């Protein structure tokens, strides 16, 4: 589960880089950068959640 | 663009850098004071070892990969533009004349900065991190994670070039290290807390956290004062070396740094007073350092009122972040390193995009004629967001992956018996306070 979270983090970063490289300045670039950030937030949430599940189950 | 410094400018930067060890010593005191007495000697010993390992690794290969702005680098061509990924300097500082040149001052400041960054994970992994693995982890940070990201920001890398290449303000700006030092260290602290898990006895069988108070409030609060002096040097030297700030603007840097730290601590005092009935000293100390961490990115480019606001918000974020991590996310961070350095640092990076007032082009964009007439900083916020996305999307997986692999080969965590006994006796064979053996095992369930 945590690996999936890290894959989402990397995917979000690639989305941000792609937006910077491919899109011209303007709203579309900003929107895609923010979308990349949103994917990263999802990945972070998944990583936090999997850690919590792991340690709660051990206790 | 390469930086040029006058004789007086070089002396100013050198004196500023000489203050930075106070920040390092301050963090060491804070980490030690926030831990239990049975681990105090081990923590200070760990700090000394980390200084040696991080500085040595940076000397061997770290600087070669970080480099200086305008130095040789590996460049890829993407989308019709140059992307500067990694420095290509010789190892062992070869090629840098140690004569007070900007490059030599950068080397000296960076060696101290990497030590500061390597100290931060000690806070989150305190009381359960073995000495050998923590030295190996510091080497990974100083040899790989830090130099790569610092090159992108301070070595003329692609984040610094976002302004020139893509018209995003002045590119990613981080004058004093909110990103390169604080957030890189804070995210490594998060990775270590994930890898090692909570201390034994921290959570009950129902999953409720128990309070494990630190052993020396005076260490913690005096460490804050030392860190303040160190941060004045860190922010002043960083702003001069990495953004080209004129030395006379150090007045603004000093004011902003002090206002941010002070307002952050006061806000944390207020929040804890309202929530718990009395101000909490350890949380106030965390708020103070979070204010310092948040002040760094924009220390030379925001007005004093904005610096105070940045500090107030950092001081508001810290107690809630610490509570959320401990209570809801089962993350045991004895020193509050994740909340203070990662969250405080990220807030500082974003705050620069919100409050920036650039008086002149910074070093990143000084070669771009368009910037000389257009100083609106348009796109600066987006550049800062891209920097944060890189920290969370690249640096966090990298530092987690490296430390996870290290853990397979050299386990980070001390044995259960070692943790019960305390790391002083278990790893060093002697306690920090042999005349005052007063601790009990109240935090261990039998």
Number of neighbours of residue A32 by Cβ within 10 angstroms: 17
CATH code for the domain in which residue B177 is found: 1.10.3430.10
Confidence of residue B446 (pLDDT cuts 50, 70, 90): very low
Sort out which chain B residues have CB atoms less than 8 A from A14's CB and list them. 393
The pLDDT score that the predictor gives to residue A1 is 80
What is the complex's ipTM, to 2 decimals?
A: 0.97
Six-digit token string for B231:
């941060």
Three-state SS at B435: coil
Helix (H) or strand (E) holding A51: helix A27-58
Q: Is residue B433 part of a domain?
A: no
Query: Tell me: the pLDDT tens digits for B119-167?
Result: 999 999 999 999 999 999 999 999 999 999 999 999 999 999 998 889 8
Per the DSSP assignment, residues forming a β-bridge with B234 are none
Confidence of residue B98 (pLDDT cuts 50, 70, 90): confident
Sort out which chain B residues have CB atoms less than 8 A from A56's CB and list them. 207, 330
Between the two ends of chain A, the Cα-to-Cα distance in Å is 19
Structurally, chain B folds into a number of domains equal to 1
How long a stretch of residues is chain B?
446
Sort out which chain B residues have CB atoms less than 8 A from A34's CB and list them. 385
8 Å CB contact between B47 and B119: yes
A5 interfaces chain B, CB cutoff of 8 Å: no
Q: Is residue B325 part of a domain?
A: yes
The closest alpha carbon to A4, from A59, A58, A45, A52, belongs to: A45
Residue B25 pLDDT greater than 50, yes or no = yes
Poorest-confidence range of B31-35, B85-89, B269-273?
B85-89
Helices B146-154, B217-243: axis angle to 10 degrees equals 50
Confidence of residue B175 (pLDDT cuts 50, 70, 90): very high
Poorest-confidence range of B206-220, B302-316, B370-384?
B370-384
**Per the CB < 8 Å rule, is A12 touching B393?**
yes
Six-digit token string for A3:
């690996």
Residue B97: phi, psi to the nearest 5?
A: -80, 125
DSSP-derived letter for residue B413 is B
Across the range B166-178, mean pLDDT stands at 93
The pLDDT score that the predictor gives to residue B372 is 47
In angstroms, the CA B387 to CA B168 distance is 12
Q: Is residue B2 part of a domain?
A: no
Number of neighbours of residue B52 by Cβ within 10 angstroms: 12
B interface test, pick of A2, A12, A16 with most B CB neighbours within 10 Å: A16
8 Å CB contact between B241 and B250: no
A55 interfaces chain B, CB cutoff of 8 Å: yes
Number of neighbours of residue B405 by Cβ within 10 angstroms: 11
Number of neighbours of residue B98 by Cβ within 10 angstroms: 11
**Closest chain A residue by Cα to residue B329:** A52
Q: Is residue B261 part of a domain?
A: yes
In angstroms, the CA B280 to CA B333 distance is 17
Q: How many angstroms separate the Cα of B389 from the Cα of each of A8, B80, B110, B172?
A: 12, 23, 23, 12
- What is the distance, to the nearest Å, from the Cα of residue B399 to the centroid of all Cα atoms in its chain? 14
Helices B102-124, B40-57: axis angle to 10 degrees equals 150
Which position has the token pair 């987006």? B382
In angstroms, the CA B446 to CA B68 distance is 55
Sort out which chain B residues have CB atoms less than 8 A from A33's CB and list them. 382, 385-386, 389
The pLDDT score that the predictor gives to residue B371 is 53
Residue B399: phi, psi to the nearest 5?
A: -70, -35
B19: distance to nearest CA of chain A, Å? 36
Poorest-confidence range of B71-75, B403-407, B419-423?
B71-75
Among the partner-chain residues A13, A52, A58, the one whose CB lies closest to the CB of B390 is A13
In angstroms, the CA A30 to CA A38 distance is 12
The closest alpha carbon to B240, from B147, B175, B296, B150, belongs to: B175
Among the partner-chain residues A14, A44, A51, the one whose CB lies closest to the CB of B392 is A44
b/e per residue B136-145 (b: at least 16 CB within 10 A): bbbbbbbbbb
Three-state SS at B184: helix
8 Å CB contact between B315 and B290: yes
**Per the CB < 8 Å rule, is A21 touching B78?**
yes
Helix (H) or strand (E) holding B233: helix B217-243
DSSP-derived letter for residue B199 is P
Among the partner-chain residues B79, B386, B396, the one whose CB lies closest to the CB of A33 is B386
A interface test, pick of B390, B393, B402 with most A CB neighbours within 10 Å: B393
Q: Is residue B445 part of a domain?
A: no
A30 interfaces chain B, CB cutoff of 8 Å: yes
B79 interfaces chain A, CB cutoff of 8 Å: yes
Confidence of residue B358 (pLDDT cuts 50, 70, 90): confident
% pLDDT > 90, chain B: 79
Sort out which chain A residues have CB atoms less than 8 A from B399's CB and list them. none
Q: Do strands B81-87 and B73-78 pair parallel, antiparallel, or not at all (unpaired)?
A: antiparallel
A12 interfaces chain B, CB cutoff of 8 Å: yes
Which position has the token pair 């001390």? B414
Among the partner-chain residues A10, A29, A48, the one whose CB lies closest to the CB of B329 is A48
B370 interfaces chain A, CB cutoff of 8 Å: no
Q: What is the DSSP string of B78-106?
A: ETTEEEEEEE-PPSTTTT--TTT-HHHHH
Residues 145-164 of B with CB under 8 A from A: 162
A interface test, pick of B189, B380, B389, B399 with most A CB neighbours within 10 Å: B389
* Domain, as residue range, for B301: 7-428
**A57 or A16: which leads in pLDDT:** A16
Q: What is the DSSP string of B330-375?
A: ----TT-HIIIIIIHHHHHHHHHHHH---SS--GGGTT-HHHHH--
Number of neighbours of residue B357 by Cβ within 10 angstroms: 12
pTM over 0.90: yes
Q: Is residue B328 part of a domain?
A: yes
């Amino acid at each position: 589960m945590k690996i999936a979270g890290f894959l989402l983090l990397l995917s979000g970063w690639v989305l941000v880089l792609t937006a910077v490289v491919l899109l011209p300045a303007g709203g579309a670039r900003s929107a895609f950068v923010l979308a990349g950030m949103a994917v990263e937030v999802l990945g972070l949430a998944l990583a936090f959640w999997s850690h919590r599940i792991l340690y709660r189950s051990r206790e | 663009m390469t930086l040029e410094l006058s004789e007086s400018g070089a002396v100013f930067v050198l004196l500023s850098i000489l203050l930075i060890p106070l920040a390092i010593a301050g963090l060491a005191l804070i980490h030690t004071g926030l831990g239990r007495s049975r681990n105090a000697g081990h923590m200070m010993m760990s700090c000394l070892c980390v200084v040696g390992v991080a500085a040595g690794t940076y000397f061997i290969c770290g600087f070669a990969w970080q480099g200086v702005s305008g130095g040789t680098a590996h460049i890829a061509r993407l989308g019709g533009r140059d992307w500067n990924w990694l420095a290509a300097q010789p190892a062992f500082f070869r090629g840098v004349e140690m004569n007070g040149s900007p490059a030599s001052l950068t080397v000296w400041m960076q060696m101290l900065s990497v030590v500061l960054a390597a100290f931060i994970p000690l806070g989150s992994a305190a009381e359960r991190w073995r000495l050998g693995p923590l030295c190996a982890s510091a080497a990974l940070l100083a040899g790989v994670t830090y130099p790569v990201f610092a090159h992108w920001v301070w070595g003329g890398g692609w984040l610094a070039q976002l302004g020139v290449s893509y018209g995003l303000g002045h590119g990613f700006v981080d004058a004093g290290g909110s990103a390169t030092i604080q957030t890189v260290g804070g995210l490594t602290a998060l990775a270590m807390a994930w890898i090692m898990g909570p201390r034994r006895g921290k959570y009950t069988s129902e999953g409720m956290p128990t309070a494990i108070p630190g052993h020396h409030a005076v260490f913690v609060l005096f460490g804050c004062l030392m860190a303040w002096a160190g941060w004045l040097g860190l922010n002043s030297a960083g702003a001069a070396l990495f953004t080209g700030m004129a030395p006379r603007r150090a007045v603004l840097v000093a004011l902003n740094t002090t206002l941010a730290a002070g307002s952050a601590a006061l806000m944390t005092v207020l929040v804890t007073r309202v929530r718990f009935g009395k101000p909490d000293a350890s949380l106030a100390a965390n708020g103070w350092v979070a204010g310092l961490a948040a002040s760094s990115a924009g220390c030379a480019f925001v007005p004093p009122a904005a610096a105070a606001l940045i500090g107030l918000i950092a001081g508001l974020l810290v107690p809630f972040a610490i509570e959320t991590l401990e209570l809801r996310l089962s993350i045991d961070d004895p020193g509050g390193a994740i909340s203070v350095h990662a969250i405080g640092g990220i807030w500082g990076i974003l705050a620069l995009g919100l409050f920036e007032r650039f008086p002149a082009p910074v070093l990143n964009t000084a070669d771009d004629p368009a910037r000389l007439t257009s100083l609106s900083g348009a796109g600066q916020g987006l550049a800062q967001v891209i920097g944060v996305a890189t920290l969370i999307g690249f640096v966090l997986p990298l530092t987690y992956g490296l430390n996870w692999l290290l853990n397979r080969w050299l386990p980070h965590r001390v044995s259960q018996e070692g943790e019960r006994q305390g790391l002083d006796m278990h790893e060093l064979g002697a306690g920090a306070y042999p005349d005052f053996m007063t601790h009990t095992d109240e935090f261990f369930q039998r």
